[in-house]
Amino acid sequence: MVRMQRRLLLVALCLGACRSEPIAPGDGAATPPSSGARLPGVDSAGSSGDGAPVTGGTPGADEDPAGAVAGLTPSTDADGSGGVAGTPSADAGSSGADVGASSAPDAGVRLAPGSLAVSWMHGAPSCAQSTDPELQVHAYNATTYILRQDKCRTFEAPFVYLLLGAQTALLLDTGATNSVGLRDTVLSLTGARSLLVAHSHAHADHVASDNRFRGQPGTTVVGTSLAAVQQAFGFSPWPSDTAELDLGGRVLDVLAIPGHEQTHIALYDRETGLLLTGDTLYPGLLFITDWTTYRASVRRLAAFVASHPVSHVLGAHIEMTSTARINYPYQTVYQPSEHVLQLDAAHVRELDAALTALGASPPAGPVALDDFVIDPQ
Ligand SMILES: [Zn+2]
């Protein structure tokens, strides 16, 4: 029983993350999702009422809806409330309204504040009738943007990050759909800066729009091979080295954290204290492909947060509900009661401690903690 469920999960994972080609909207309907299967040790969301997970949706959007973000006005105010057409009503999760909450091991460091007071669009019970735009843009502050893709166009609904330095803008990930919408939105925010496009890791739901950025003036797209990532950031050696990236008056630390995927990195922004952790740590199913490597990466991440002030830990997806230990099934396209995006340094410590307690060999099945699920593949 456990084996069967886990095989289903793997099949579903590869649909979203193992192919080299972009994910075409509608693919989710072609294969029965693993959703609904109750993971060993993991409770899934309920199946009735408004909170019922809707999985394997049938998005009606085409591959490249150039007009999909028409009318989208990226928010420039701190709360982001006015920026997005079709912004859904407030979710049932806990409030995201905090500014500069910090573990602050460096008490003297002053972090640039920002806001996560935002209601993320979270899919629809009927995607055919959804009016959500392709992208939601939230200004964390004037030089830091968080973008989320529409769940009805891709169940992955990844979060993409744009950090603006004085000279260079950094885009972390290009999303799960191949579309000009992300590119055009990003370019509208970067101004005259050069643009560096990098990836948290090379899975398909993080690189899908790379080809829209390649060849654009003033734009560099980091390759997705391990060698390309190592060379682009100057890791020496990988993965123990921490690289440095200067965007012009804004320095990022780049940590190598393979284990979910071999090229995975984390970015730490010294200006805001944001730690961007991709698919390695977020409120959802933490798929681990290399247990030993992942444990070592999280150990390094824990050491890093012990010596740096962290305002928030931000990952690339949300799959947990607002109820502790309860996740939405993989491929859910409607998450009305989803967890907030942000975690914090305590979650890094919690993950590290849990991995240490689980030992050198992966557990037989997923292990649910309050805000994420350790899920060896
Ligand atoms: Zn991934």
CA 82 to ligand 1 center in whole angstroms: 31
CA 286 to ligand 1 center in whole angstroms: 9
Cα(45)–Cα(189) distance, integer angstroms: 37
CA 198 to ligand 1 center in whole angstroms: 14
27 or 354, greater pLDDT: 354
Interval 2-59: pLDDT, tens: 222 333 333 333 333 332 222 233 333 223 233 322 233 333 333 333 334 444 433 3
CA 204 to ligand 1 center in whole angstroms: 8
Cα(328)–Cα(49) distance, integer angstroms: 14
pLDDT, average across residues 283-303: 98
CA 202 to ligand 1 center in whole angstroms: 7
Would the pLDDT of 91 be above 60? Answer: no
SS3 of the chain: CHHHHHHHHHHHHHHHHCCCCCCCCCHHHHCCCCCCCCCCCCEECCCCHHHCCEECCCCCCCCCCCCCCCCCCCCCCCCCCCCCCCCCCCCCCCCCCCCCCCCCCCCCCCCCCCCCCCCCCCECCCHHHCCCCCEEEEEEECCEEEEEECCCCCCCCCEEEEEECCCEEEEECCCCCCCHHHHHHHHHHHCCCEEEEECCCCCHHHCCCHHHHCCCCCEEECCCCHHHHHHHHCCCCCCCCEEEEECCCCEEEEEECCCCCCCCEEEEECCCCEEEEECCCCCCEEEECCHHHHHHHHHHHHHHHHCCCCCEEEECCCCEECCCCEECCCCEEECCCECCCEECHHHHHHHHHHHHHHCCCCCCCCEECCCCEEEEC
Interval 143-183: pLDDT, tens: 999 999 999 999 999 999 999 999 999 999 999 999 899 99
CB 358 within 8 A of CB 73: no
Report the chain's mean pLDDT, rounded to a whole number.
79
Cα(80)–Cα(275) distance, integer angstroms: 20
CA 106 to ligand 1 center in whole angstroms: 31
pLDDT level of residue 109 (50, 70, 90 thresholds): confident
CA 200 to ligand 1 center in whole angstroms: 8
CA 372 to ligand 1 center in whole angstroms: 15
Would the pLDDT of 246 be above 80? Answer: yes
CA 280 to ligand 1 center in whole angstroms: 8
Interval 321-349: pLDDT, tens: 999 999 999 999 999 999 999 999 999 99
CA 203 to ligand 1 center in whole angstroms: 5
CA 110 to ligand 1 center in whole angstroms: 32
* pLDDT-wise least confident of 7-21, 99-113, 212-226, 350-364: 7-21
CA 255 to ligand 1 center in whole angstroms: 16
Would the pLDDT of 79 be above 70? Answer: no
Residue 265 CB partners (closer than 8 Å, separation 6+): 198, 199, 200, 201, 229, 233, 254, 255, 256, 257, 278
How high is the pLDDT of residue 70? 28
CA 289 to ligand 1 center in whole angstroms: 10
How high is the pLDDT of residue 106? 58
| Domains present along the chain, CATH in parentheses | 2-60+75-376 (3.60.15.10)
CA 18 to ligand 1 center in whole angstroms: 9
